[in-house]
Amino acid sequence: MMQNILIVVEEKDGSLRKVCEEMLSFCSQYSNKLGFKVTALTYGNCLNQELFNQIASFGVGNILVIEDHQFARYNPELLINILKNIINEYNPNLILFGNTAVGKDLAPRLAQALKVQMFSDVTKIEFANDSIKFTRPIYGGKAIETDELNLENKLVLATVRPNNLPKYENNPAKPGIKKLNDKVIDNLTYTVKEVIEKLKLTKSINEAEIIVSGGRGLKNAENFAILEDLANTLGAAVGASRAAVDAGWKSHSVQVGQTGKTVSPKLYIACGISGAIQHLAGMSTAKCIIAINKDPDAPILKVADFGIVGDLFDIVPLLTKAFKAVTKG
């Protein structure tokens, strides 16, 4: 039986990460139905009440807080030690992380430190009487893996892909905060020397709800401006194919595909991208795909929900105009 879920919550600029909202909302919904307890864990160097209120608004009132000046920089070694202690004390059956840069790094280390199974980048979680089932896309979305594990009072870890767990209307809970005073170790073998912030100007594609992506069809870096215009109108992030990244038009951090990022936005607009299998691997789980391509035989049009066969240089600016008219009206 599932009795106790621990969600490791991440914040960004004082707000909850979107995938964390999704995990909280989902678990909170099922906790009432199935009678298990959900606890959120937050850590940081200066956490605020606003964040705790946000967590509680999804129906999760039990909030564990660890604050330490050392958390100003992410250090996995520091966190593993603290998490291990907390887990021994709270005995969860399931620990959830967002499949974020932090979750991807931390969860496998923690899983091995606790000698338990872990499932990466899951898109679906199902609770049964005495077992738990995870669904995760593999082979770049060409197949789905289903993992079922008997709980037997054991613990299991998972990282959750953003934009996949359904969000519910939860009844807000009253935040009940417990500050933990675990000793933070200081003889670390992993030292963060420097953190170089990337320019905040570019919106990250990881959790974006809408992504406008460009490929070789854009012809040069300057032409990406027309995609930026469309993206700004839609509040979207800009992505790119490998051809565009290899040509130096966009940075590798926005490459979508097998050797780039895997994204699951609500809307993915592919402009001048042929839809090679390695590109599809990174975006085939998008809820809605729009492709703009002048070649009627381009493979991207086979997976698109809506495809426009035509010249992107004509169509994209007009699309921006049409969307502007909608958002205004």
Ligand X SMILES: Cc1cc2nc3c(=O)[nH]c(=O)nc-3n(C[C@H](O)[C@H](O)[C@H](O)COP(=O)(O)OP(=O)(O)OC[C@H]3O[C@@H](n4cnc5c(N)ncnc54)[C@H](O)[C@@H]3O)c2cc1C
Q: Which of residues 268-297 bind ligand X (CB under 6 A)?
A: 272-274, 276, 278-279, 282, 292-295
Closest separation between CB of residue 312 and ligand X, Å?
4
Distances in Å between the alpha carbon of 109 and those of 74, 102, 117?
14, 11, 11
Q: Which is nearer to another protein, 9 or 289 (CB)?
A: 289
- Give me the long-range contacts of 72-77 (CB less than 8 A, separation at least 24): 72/45, 73/192, 73/195, 74/102, 74/192, 75/188, 75/190, 75/192, 76/105, 76/106, 76/109, 76/190, 77/188, 77/189, 77/190
Cα distance between residue 329 and residue 323, in whole Å: 10
Q: Which is nearer to ligand X, 205 or 312 (CB)?
A: 312
Taking CB within 5 to 8 Å according to partner kind, which of ligand X, another protein, none is near residue 273?
Answer: ligand X
Q: Which does 298 bind (CB under 5 to 8 A by kind): ligand X, another protein, none?
A: ligand X
Structure tokens of 295? 């070649």
The count of chain residues that interact with ligand X, using the rule CB under 6 A, is 28
Q: Which is nearer to ligand X, 113 or 277 (CB)?
A: 277
* Partner that binds at residue 6, options another protein, ligand X, none, CB closer than 5 to 8 Å by kind: none
Q: Which does 309 bind (CB under 5 to 8 A by kind): ligand X, another protein, none?
A: another protein
Question: Which of the listed partners (ligand X, another protein, none) does 204 bind, with a CB threshold of 5 to 8 Å by partner kind?
Answer: another protein
**104 contacts ligand X (rule: CB under 6 A):** no
Regarding 244 and contact with ligand X (CB under 6 A), the answer is yes
DSSP code string of 132-173: EEEEEEEGGGTEEEEEEEE-TT--EEEEE-TTTSPP--PPP-
Report the DSSP pairing between strands 267-271 and 237-240. Answer: unpaired
Cβ closest to ligand X, residue 130 vs residue 305: 305
Q: Is 9 helix (H, G, I), strand (E, B) or coil?
A: strand
* Sole window of 71-79, 97-105, 175-183, 257-265 interacting with ligand X (rule: CB under 6 A): 257-265
Residue 225 makes CB contacts below 8 A (sequence gap 6+) with none
Nearer Cβ to ligand X (18/250): 250
In the bound complex, what is the minimum distance in angstroms from residue 206's beta carbon to another protein? 9
- CA 98 to the chain's CA centroid: 6
Beta strands 118-122 and 124-127, pairing class = unpaired
The piece of 24-32, 36-44, 91-99, 241-249 that touches ligand X (CB under 6 A) is 241-249
- Which partner from the list another protein, ligand X, none does 89 bind, CB cut-off 5 to 8 Å by kind? none
Across-strand partners of 311? none
For residue 87 the two structure tokens come to: 């887990």
134, 172 contact by CB (below 8 A): no
In this structure, what are the phi and psi dihedrals at residue 50, rounded to the nearest 5 degrees? -55, -40
Select the binding partner of residue 326 from ligand X, another protein, none (C-beta < 5 to 8 A, by kind): another protein
Q: Pick from 243, 254, 269, 319 the residue near ligand X by CB under 6 A.
A: 243
Tell me if 137 contacts ligand X by CB under 6 A: no
| Smaller CB separation from another protein, 46 or 196 | 196
Q: Which positions touch ligand X (CB under 6 A)?
A: 215-217, 241-244, 255-260, 272-274, 276, 278-279, 282, 292-295, 298, 311-313
